[in-house]
Chain A
Amino acid sequence: MTTLTMHNLTLRYPRQATATLADLSLAVASGELVVLLGTSGSGKSTLLRLIAGLLEPTAGDIRFDGQSVRALPAHRREAVLMFQKAYLFPFLSVADNIRFGLRVRGVAREQQRIAVQQMLALVELEGLECRFPAQLSGGQQQRVALARALVTQPRVLLLDEPFSSLDTSVRRSLQAAVRRIQRETGVTTVLVTHDLEEALSMADRVALLLDGRIAAYGTPQQVYTRPPTLAAARFLGITTFVAGTLHGCQLTTAAGVWVLGAASACAPAEPPRPAVVAIRPEQITLHPTRPADLPNCVLGQVQEQSYRGDVIEYLLKVAGLPEAVRVRRPTSDAPDPIGPEVWLHLPPAALWEVRAG
């Protein structure tokens, strides 16, 4: 069991204006599965290469159990990286592929054989040890690659979008298998993906990486429901941001005065200041008439509505707000037909302040 910490990691290529990774710090607890979520080019694969030792950081430190591993070359770091493709050695059988890491360490043959059998059982591929990679399906190849990675009992397992080249059904079953195996082996794991659903469903904690910086880090619920910055909120599908002047719990906007947050979280002692609040599209409720006893109600005109299967999505124009408000309503609620004008209710607890950047 190993804790993995990154301290002020920076990677800057010569002749490049902005750093690929900028002063990045992140702590992964022992046995935890952290998902690095980000767009392509956000530096997430680069971060894995740094941890694996395939790339040298410009500055900063990487520690396993508090001890710096920067001086250790990739082959002695015991951090195994699995790529998007399985990269099974095509000239070796499944069994020989799996035992590769033991072979280069000079482990006795008999032990290798036992370990290979254990790994094949773990990834549910018993009986395929004599096959060659070309005879396996994509999902099977990734399972063999996982077995090959785990056979040496690495301190850290790094997965670089290992499911992205697979069909949906195969991907689902492999995601479940990886999560199960990760829990069984308790190996500290960092998984990189650009798929929000995959991140939320697999992670103990999600780190949102945007432009080489950690924009949010927390449990899937925390990150999904309360992204702390504007950029993070945008990445997570939030499009409604309202600017105004915040004084205690009251936000004065062009669309009216709104209450936000739980009352206990307010700080009325602070002087008024400009602020931006956000709300998730599925947390706004729609009402044909003005709800009598609810705060934060505004009138909107339906601009567009589209059927999405599980939800109906509305775009509503609200006087005073520059952008149309996006609302997602579950179809299962059998919603009342919506007229051209509708009242929007933004529950105070669903509004939170986001920082710029």
Chain B
Amino acid sequence: MQRGAVGCIWLYALASVLLPLGLFGLHALGPRWFFPALLPDSLSLEPLLALIGNPRTQAALGLSAQVALLVTGLAVLIGYPAARALTFAPLVGRGVILAVLFLPTVIPPIAIGIGLNSLMLQLGLAGTLIGVCIVHLIPVLPYVILTLSSMLSRYDRHYEEQAQVLGAGAWQVWWLVTLPMSLPALAVAALFAFLISWSEYLFTALIGGGRVITLPVLLFALVAGGNPTTLAGVALLIVAVPMLAILLASRLLGGGPQVVGVR
């Protein structure tokens, strides 16, 4: 029974991720792979290294990192107080606020993207890094707030009261208790923010207007070029960074004693 389930999961992983990735890997490493051949006639790292050395790729990589990191920072800065208010403050109409907050995840991005484009044009933010970052917050914030508030709802505020009666003022409570207790939740939320922003194509293309060329935008541009080797290489680059981020996060979150703070 259990073995069957594990088998299904592997099959799913194979079909959805491993197989396409494997194909991309072969494409990226084997530039000479033509039709009837079952496999490329030779494999080499050279095309991949050339791609990484390419200034266009490097610029896109740098820009993607900049955007994703900025969005992550902004999302956590906005999302944490919002989640705290939604969890703890005596709010009227909490349900309505949550519904509005999740609207962007329900509405097709293409539908709002055009409107956003003209709004950003009026604000003079179209085609700018900041404009792209702001628009990325639309799909990112709901996930960040949901992650944080679900963690916060299990967070026991007695720890803060305990610190208070022991003599800690508001800032000391925040710095010495609240922040360390919230770190695991913040890390998970930040990871989500980074991943969503990193793989965002549509909003970047619409608002960036061809001037903010992140990796996904570059990838779409390359599709038209039709060189499978470059295409596969860029795709692998896009995948590699989130993989590294998840590995790093699971390392950081896995062993620590912090999770005990959750009731």
Contacts and interface: CB of A to CB of B under 8 A. Distances in A.
B167 A133 contact: no
Contacts of A152: 166-167
B159 A89 contact: yes
B6 interface: no
A104 B167 contact: yes
Interface stretch (A75-83, A174-182, A321-329): A75-83
Contacts of B165: 52-54, 74-75, 77, 79-81
Contacts of A74: 161, 164-165
B167 A91 contact: no
A80 B164 CA distance: 9
Interface string A76-105: 111111010101011100000000110111
Nearest to A151: B166
Chain B binding surface SS class:
helix
A149 interface: yes
B158 A104 contact: no
A310 B173 CA distance: 51
Interface residues of B, number: 22
B261 A90 contact: yes
B260 interface: yes
A132 interface: yes
B164 A90 contact: no
A54 B161 contact: yes
Interface in B146-191: 156, 158-159, 161-169, 172-173, 176-177, 180-181
Interface of A: 52-54, 74-81, 83, 85, 87, 89-91, 100-101, 103-105, 132-134, 148-149, 152
28 contacts: A53-B165, A54-B165, A75-B167, A75-B168, A77-B165, A78-B167, A79-B165, A80-B165, A81-B162, A81-B165, A85-B158, A87-B162, A89-B163, A89-B177, A89-B180, A90-B181, A90-B257, A90-B260, A90-B261, A91-B257, A101-B166, A104-B163, A104-B167, A104-B172, A104-B176, A105-B167, A134-B260, A152-B167
